[in-house]
Structures are given as C-alpha cells and as structure tokens.
Amino acid sequence: MNSFKKAVWLHKLPSTPEAVKGVAQRLADAGFDLLIPCVKQVTGIVDFHSNIANVREEFKTWDPLMVLAEEANRLGLAVHAWSCVFPEGQSSRLLAEHPEYEAVEGPEKRRTEPHRLACPTRQAVQDYQAALYQELIERFR
C-alpha cells in the first residue's frame, strides 16, 4: 500500500464555479489527493460565505469553498481549509471595526500594508479567529 500522498496549496480560488470545478478536475487527473485552499487571505478577506469576516467581492453570490468541497468529494479528493490567522490587511472587518486591535512593532509604530497584523495577545482577536474556524466547522460538517 502506497502511503505517499500528494497535496497542493491553492492560494486563490478561481472566480467562477466552472473554473473551481476545472481546477479540482485537473488536480485529480494529475494524481493529487488533497487540496489545501487558502480560505482567509493575508488581507483579512475570506473566500467562503461568512457572517463574521468580509467576503471577497466575486464570491458574494456563490461560495467557492462549497463548490470546491462538493467537486472534490465527487472526485475522491480531500480538502483541508487553510487560514492566514493573524494577518489582517486592508480588507479586514476586524481591524476596520477595531483599529486598536492592530499589532504594533514598537511604541505606536504601525505596520504598513500589506503586513498588518491583529494582536494575537488580545482575547477579542483570539475570539474572532476562533469564531471563523467555528463558522467553517459548522458550515462544512
């Protein structure tokens, strides 16, 4: 039995359902077993339907992660959602609503785009990130 598996990171999902299905098919045909889509970008935007974070504009009318999950299931592929946890750039709902949650490099020295981070020591930031994971877990059971 071959225990070697092939996985691929997907940094940005395509902007149409047909293109997402095409990517899954091409990767299945190439022998991949696991797809690892980035579902929360360093900008703070998410690539799935969320009630918590801002959703990428082209995904507001359809859910690319759901399409990928369904197509991957049909093709016998596994999906492991990947999230950039504390980076929160220009699209971040968290930092837009709470700019005081931004991590600073030193005495009030703010980071510049695209390298803004939410301060991981703040309980509210931890709760926000955990809520995003919980939302994914509940949506994709």
Instruction: Grade residue 56 by pLDDT with cuts at 50, 70 and 90.
Output: very high
Give pLDDT, residue 111: 59
Residue 1 has pLDDT above 80, yes or no: no
Q: Give me the percent of the chain exceeding a pLDDT of 70.
A: 91
Give pLDDT, residue 125: 98
CATH number, domain 7-139:
3.20.20.70
What are the sequence ranges of the domains in the chain? 7-139
Residue 124 has pLDDT above 90, yes or no: yes
Instruction: Grade residue 107 by pLDDT with cuts at 50, 70 and 90.
Output: low
Residue type, 82: W
